[in-house]
Structure 1
Amino acid sequence: MIKKLIAKSVFSLYDKLGGGKIQANYAVIKAKHETPNKIDADKINKYLLENGFKGKLEDQPLMNKSDISKRMATANMDKLHSFAYTGGSYGEPFKIPYSKKRAIVRTASFKYFNEAAGYQLGDPFMLIAAKQKPKWWQFLRNEYRFVPTNLTQSNIENAVNLLVKEKIEVLIGFPSVIFELATYIKDHGVKHQIKAVVFTSEPIEDTKKNHIKEAIGGNVIDRYSNEEVGLIAQQKEFGGAYFTNRHNVVVEILDDNLQPVKQGEIGKVVVTDLAADIVPIVRYDTGDLAIAHEYKDGQLIAISSISGRVTEQLFTTTGSPIAPLALGPLIHMPLSKAGYYPQFQFAQIAPAKYQLRIRKGAALPKAVLTEIELNLKTALGNEANIEMVFVDDIKPQPSGKRPIYKNEMQNRCTDMR
């Protein structure tokens, strides 16, 4: 209780010293999301005009990381407050400049969406992240940080013991790690006080998501965000659609001709951040794929089935692209039917060569492995060479993420499509 009061007081003092702008923005953001209204077109057009873009939003070309970096070279940094650094999970680390105003909007947005997920300011929470923060920082936020550089059983046990000891109420972070914590909790009958779980940064299979929900309980939701624009969309309920951040993030899902896909169709996720005031971010290609779920007066307000990065596109033995998440059930269904829930990673390492890496645990029956292999060959082609490899840990990316699907071919370019 004392730590909770300290965290609330520190946040309140910090906001007051800054003129109360976080709480003011929070009130606006909350009101904006109480109704399913789209972002006002005049607000979008004003942002484009102020930043030197001619024409409507749909007329603008897509941006990538290279475009943002080029704009940074000539940007006016007088308003610079801080930088946000991307993890470099896919070989393209870079930094994004934040003004004080944009940082406030970001903080207020996360405050609102955290509350929507079940976290209240001051609640003790565990953040699963790639880097540590000073102990004083964690103390002031009532935060406990778990950096999963090595997911040994001993480290998992220590993290769960910390959850119990400190009566942690909220888990936020990589679902691949939360899955390991949930499995330990279920297998050992651990009693805990977790009331909310928020997934970030990685996709997760439905079977594993259900496993976490069953093992931990509480409010389990998924969040879609990145360092470039912050929070993009978040579920309102377990297994539901992802509703977009309608305060400052315009989300589009586009086909190969850069036209909006219809409801229920898949396309690339493109975002515009109306709060990006040092370097404008207009129609930024996130590298992700998703399905359009709901439009409001022509503007997308909800998405579903975020299926991972385009750069991790996998291919059949004949070179045809296949959605990574379409392969998921072919792997996890045989495992779950037999009562096994190991962490795994499926990688394509050559045009017809694949590797299924399974984290060591209980010995898997040969029949289960054979079923998985046959399933994958049905989808990928009978010529597929599928190697089963048992590992002590799935090696994390520099960001701490452990992607489920990886394309490790040296020439993994899109000309295979």
Structure 2
Amino acid sequence: MQTGEVLRRQVFNLLDAAKGGRLKKLKEVNKHEIVEGVTEDYMERRVQTLLSYVKQHSPYYKEHPEWTKLEDFPVMTKGDFIEHYDEVLVDCVREQGNLYRLSTSGSTGTPFTVLCDGDKMSRVNMNFISCMELNGFRMGMKRGEFRAWIKGKNTISKWKSFKNNLIMVDISNMGDESLDKICRDIEKKKIQVLVTYSSALTALTQYIRKTGRDISRWSVEMVFSMGEALPQETYDLTKELFGFFPVRSYGNNENGFIAIQLDEDPEYTVDLYNFYPEILKLDSDEPAEPGELGRIVVTDYYNKTFPMVRYDTGDTGKMRVYYDKNGRVHAKYTEIYGRRGSLMYNTKGEPLSIHVFMNTLLKFEGTVYQAKCIQWGEKDYELLVNADRSRLDETELLAAYRHYLGEDAELRITYVDQIPIQASGKFMVCENKWNGRKQA
């Protein structure tokens, strides 16, 4: 336990106690409700309170008094919210001071900023801490955040970095030189928690294994994976290297963390305290059947500035809902497939998890540096490859992808020098550009 960690935790607790201990209470309730579930009454009450509020204060929803229950309200994509931005904002937003901005970098080509008040911002922060603490995090621990940090865009000040005990770990380039520097920084700066996108974690752990790097002097106690789905191979390798399992999470910048892995549960526990989750069919706004792949839609209970009712996150997954012996409600995402633009189909029209493409890449470690599979048609695929061509067996690579895409896949290779990491820090291993009926 580092001195800086203890001091920051004490300062946080003292400052919060001086204000009535609200943040601590919020955090503890959040943790309790994630683990123990919520009551049906709570869900119904929160939904009705939110719907009544938006019909009174949001010009967009005011126009439709006939919308009385959640199913009546339209499902809104990021594009829909952007189109109706000023109408969705509550009436008194211009009179509110100290508004906060929840911004997504636009990794799918659409930057988006959601405004919120101090209460929602506190909930976002305590939600993050709650998800971390449920997996062993201690307030004040030094964490390294892996992102494509861009000066003047998303970097943070030295004061904020010091206050939050946060180290900016730049992953704009994930070549061996950059990874060597990242490893040296982790050791030298005594980083305790790695908060990273799964693609960056995959690159880091593969590099450690490939180089046989000694990490015994590292101070890392926790690895927190965000963004795209974490391949099982990376999960297992992280556990092998560090001696503990990485934590899988699901969320976004607009709302916060929506679901979290608890212990080594392969499923994601949904935060029913802050969100009402739905899985809707891929081609309609009807509820998906239990266990059916569908669109992940969430209603955010607590953003009173920019209400997000039935927000289509752009991701796809499967969910199960169940009741425990006390009658409390629990929800689990049993599978998260990621962005619909990354939802690929094999030649039979069956959906493929992003795991498929990540796992395939791992088989060619050291030869294929990057690869991205693009679907152009029902059976038409292109494979962008950055590799050591002198060592690459094309036939073997094509066969590995056809194993999942289908033996009748029309698959061609295009060699490139680099496949850029997106501004968000994510690297997309697949993309659906098909205009056919299966593309979202």
For 1:323, the aligned partner's letter is L
For residues 55-76 of structure 1, give each alpha carbon's deviation from its aligned partner in whole angstroms, at most 9, with x where no partner exists. 2223322011233234531323
* Equivalent residue letter for 1:188: G
Partner of 2:162: 139
1:209 aligned partner: 235
Q: Which residue does the alignment assign to 1:252?
A: 278
Query: What TM-score, normalized to structure 1?
Result: 0.87
Aligned 8 A contact 1:324 1:405 in 2 = no
User: Is 1:188 aligned to 2:212, yes or no?
Assistant: yes
Deviation at 1:380, TM superposition (A): 4.2
Report whether the alignment pairs 1:286 with 2:313. yes
> 1:22 aligned to 2:23?
yes
Aligned to 2:126: 108
Residue type of the alignment partner of 1:56: K
Asked if 1 retains the 8 angstrom alpha-carbon contact of 2:229 and 2:355, the reply is no
Instruction: Judge conservation of contact 2:231–2:355 (CA < 8 Å) in 1.
Output: no
Which of 228, 238, 247 aligns to 1:221? It is: 247
Q: Does the Cα contact within 8 Å between 2:27 and 2:130 map onto a contact in 1? A: yes
Choose the corresponding residue for 2:333, options 300, 303, 308.
303
Contact 2:379 2:408 in 1 (8 A): no
Q: Distance in 2 between matches of 1:20 and 1:362?
A: 60
Give the letter aligned to residue 88 of structure 1: G
Aligned to 1:243: 269
> 1:314 is matched by which residue type in structure 2?
M
The alignment partner of 2:74 has SS state of coil
Task: Work out the CA distance in 2 between the residues paired with 1:218 and 1:383.
Answer: 39
| Partner amino acid, structure 2, of 1:60 | F
| Change in 2 beyond 3 A, CA 1:25/1:416 | closer
**Given the alignment, which residue of 295, 298, 311 partners 1:271?**
298
Distance 2:240 2:385 in 1: 22
Match of 1:345 in 2: 372
> What TM-score, normalized to structure 2?
0.83
Aligned 8 A contact 1:21 1:104 in 2: no
Report the alpha carbon displacement of residue 364 of structure 1 after superposing the two structures with TM.
Answer: 4.5
Structure 1 residue 48 and structure 2 residue 74: aligned? no
Distance of aligned partners of 1:188 and 1:327 in 2 relative to their CA distance in 1, 3 Å threshold: closer
Q: 1:257 to 1:96 in 2, by over 3 A?
A: same
Choose from 98, 116, 141 the match for 2:116.
98
C-alpha change, 1:129 and 1:16, in structure 2 (3 Å) is farther
Report how far residue 169 of structure 1 moved. Answer: 1.9
Deviates more, 1:113-122 or 1:253-262: 253-262
Partner of 1:79: 96
Check 1:328–1:312 CA distance in 2 against 1; reply closer, same or farther (3 A cut).
closer
**Aligned residues with identical type, % of pairs:** 23
RMSD: 2.9
1:169 to 188, 192, 206: 192
Question: Could you say if the C-alpha distance between residues 70 and 334 of structure 1 is closer, same or farther in structure 2, counting changes exceeding 3 Å?
Answer: closer
Q: 2:421 aligns with which of 387, 396, 399?
A: 396
Counterpart-to-counterpart distance in 1, 2:239 and 2:386: 21
Q: Aligned partners of 2:395, 2:340: CA distance in 1, in Å? A: 29
Matched, 1:331 2:360: yes
Pick which of 78-87 and 256-265 moved more.
256-265
Q: Distance in 1 between matches of 2:159 and 2:11?
A: 12
Q: Which amino acid aligns with 2:427?
A: R
Give secondary structure in 1 for the equivalent of 2:86.
helix
Whether contact under 8 Å (1:183, 1:215) holds in the other structure is no
| Shift in alpha-carbon separation, 1:340–1:238, aligned structure 2, 3 A | farther
Q: CA deviation at 1:239?
A: 5.4
Question: 2:227 corresponds to which letter in structure 1?
Answer: S
Give me the whole-angstrom Cα distance separating, in 2, the residues matched to 1:113 and 1:298. 20
Per-residue deviation, 1:171: 0.8
CA shift at 1:275, angstroms?
0.5
Q: Deviations over 1:132-188 (max 9, x none)?
A: 322222122222111211112111111111111222221112111122222233332
Deviations 1:81-125 (A, max 9, x none): 211111101111121001011111111111111111222111122
Moved more, 211-220 or 222-231: 211-220
- Residues 361 and 137 from structure 1, CA distance in 2 versus in 1: closer, same or farther, beyond 3 angstroms? farther
1:358 CA displacement: 4.7
- Counterpart code for 1:346: C
CA displacement 1:237-279 (0-9 Å, x = unmatched): 3351100112111111122443333433211100000011012
Find the counterpart in structure 1 of residue 82 from structure 2: 69
Measure the CA separation in 2 of the matches of 1:65 and 1:159: 34
Q: CA deviation at 1:360?
A: 4.4
1:73/1:102 Cα in 2 relative to 1: closer, same or farther (>3 Å)?
same
- Asked if structure 2 preserves the Cα contact closer than 8 Å seen for 1:261 and 1:292, the reply is no
